[in-house]
Amino acid sequence: MTDETPARDQNTDFSDINANLAEGLAGFGADDQTDESDPELDQETIDAMEEAQRAMDESRERLASVPAEVVITNHVMGLYELAAIHLSANPPELAQAALAIDALACLVDGLGDRIGPDAPTMRDALNNIRLAFVQIKGAADSDVSTNAGTDAG
């Protein structure tokens, strides 16, 4: 039997998975999603859910009143911080830092000056975190080669 040939007991048509998926999506998006088997909610739970919905509505209104540039800049700085956290771990988490830096670059390089008046600051932040990554990766690589040289003796 080759690697491409499924074992006899393998279900290769995925019919069970597709049936379960179709069943699960059957009521998706329907306005009335109540089911007779759903338990009754007490008033305290209903009040808490209504309060949570009001809080979400208020948050959406506040967010809608903020220019997109401000929100994007906030996310850029969050990605910068995420990369810095992974770079400062002991040992540095280079793959995680690289992912955060790449996401940061997608926003900064991809949007350019559309980010707004803070675009030059965001470009500087991106360059600084890239430089820090290269320096930390270089130090980690030299530690590995130094340790490998002493272990061989």
The pLDDT value given to residue 146? 72
The pLDDT value given to residue 5? 45
| Other Cβ atoms within 10 Å of 79 Cβ, number | 22
- Report the alpha-carbon distance of residue 90 to residue 72 in Å, rounded: 30
Residue 38, pLDDT above cutoff 90:
no
Instruction: Kindly indicate the confidence band of residue 72, based on its pLDDT and cuts at 50, 70 and 90.
Output: very high
The pLDDT value given to residue 1? 46
The pLDDT value given to residue 7? 47
- Report the alpha-carbon distance of residue 54 to residue 16 in Å, rounded: 40
Least confident of 5-9, 32-36, 58-62: 5-9
Query: Which is more confident, 41 or 9?
Result: 41
Per residue in 129-140, is it b (16+ CB within 10 Å) or e — as a string?
beebbeebeeee
Cis peptide before 117 (omega within 30 of 0): no
What pLDDT digit, counting tens, does each position of 80-138 carry?
999 999 999 999 999 999 999 999 999 999 999 999 999 999 999 999 999 999 999 99
- Report the alpha-carbon distance of residue 70 to residue 76 in Å, rounded: 10
Q: Which secondary-structure segment (H or E) carries 70?
A: helix 68-88
CA 148 to chain centre: 35
